[in-house]
Structure formats: structure tokens, C-alpha cells
Homo-oligomer: A and B are copies of this chain.
Amino acid sequence: MRLLFVHSDHLEFEAREEAGPDDLAETEGVPMEGRMEECVTAFVSVESDDEADLDGVVANATDELRDVTGQLNTNRVVLYPYAHLSDDLASPDAAKAVMRDLESELEGEGYEVLRAPFGWYKAFEVACKGHPLSELSRHVSAHRDEAGGAAGAGDGEGEPDREPS
């Protein structure tokens, strides 16, 4: 999974047109438009490797989100499916399952979550704050770091953040 976190003044979206074949687009359990203020927008590409252990990937992505939202002192998260962060995408069914499970995990921990629907062409507007931690990218796999200590430590799972430019 590839994640791009953007600390946002706001994110808003509106689903415009279904993408791909018949049953690709999510239509149940997710809003067709939405807006959130003062949040972390998580752009998410679920990758084919993730299909070996979807639950593990969800757990590790939740750790990353816990880490990032802790640093940024917010509990407001937009989950935004985004195919353009990877060349090697998971199947649509796997991607939808991961997005739904991530939402459930975060809501279960008390986060306020806005999830954008998978499989739609969407209009969106995002405003990035521009401070040094306002854009962070991470690579998450299902693999759990054996040396990492307690589960849920939420640190060091991802790649180092890359240089801004």
C-alpha cells in the first residue's frame, strides 16, 4: 500500500461518473460527496502484494495513521482511494475491502472519518497547509517488523519520509 498524507485546511469531493465496468464503483455505505475541515487527507493506493494479507495491511496502515495524526494533533481523517501512487494495484474488490476496513478500524478508535467512494471519477479540492510535516508518503506492507516491539507502536513501519520538493 502506498499512502500520501496531506495535512489539509480542507478536502472536499463530489463523485461525478462511474469508472470502469459495471460493479466497480462503490454505491453503498459511502457518501457521493463530502467535505472535511482541518484534517489529514490520506490518499491510498492498495497494491497487489497487499492481497496476501489484507488484515495485516489494514492493521499497519492504521498504525501509520495513528502515528501521523498524533504528530499533527488531529483525529479527523479523509480516506481517499487514489490509483496514481502505484504501478501495481490490487484488484478493485481487494481495494474496496481495505478502504472499508480501514474506515471501520479508525472509527472504532474514535476517529472522525470521511471516506470517498472507490471507482468514481471525482471532482475534488484539497488545501495543503505547507508546513514541513504537511506532506508525508509511506509504503506499508502486511509484514510486521519482528524487532518492532509491541503491536500498535505505530512507528517505523513505513519508509523514511522523502524529501519535499
Q: For chain A, which range describes its interface: under 10, 10 to 19, 20 to 34, or 35 or more residues? A: 35 or more
In the complex, A95 Cα to B164 Cα: how many Å? Answer: 12
In the complex, which of the residues B83, B89, B92, B125 contacts A126, with contact meaning CB atoms closer than 8 Å?
B125
- 4 more CB-based (< 8 A) A-B contacts, given A119-B164, A123-B130: A84-B135, A89-B165, A124-B130, A125-B128
Q: Is A35 interfacial (CB 8 A cutoff)?
A: no
How many monomers of this protein are in the complex? 2
Within the complex, the shortest CB–CB distance from A161 to chain B, in Å, comes to: 9
A interface with B by C-beta (< 8 Å) = 4, 9, 14, 16-17, 19-20, 45, 81-85, 87, 89, 92, 95, 118-132, 134-135, 137, 139, 159, 162-165
Contact in complex: A137, B4 (CB < 8 Å): no
Q: Smallest CB–CB gap between A135 and chain B, Å?
A: 6
Query: Which of B17, B124, B125, B132 is the one whose CB lies under 8 Å from A131?
Result: B17
Residue of chain B at shortest CB distance from A128? B124
Asked if B134 and A121 sit within 8 Å, CB to CB, the answer is yes
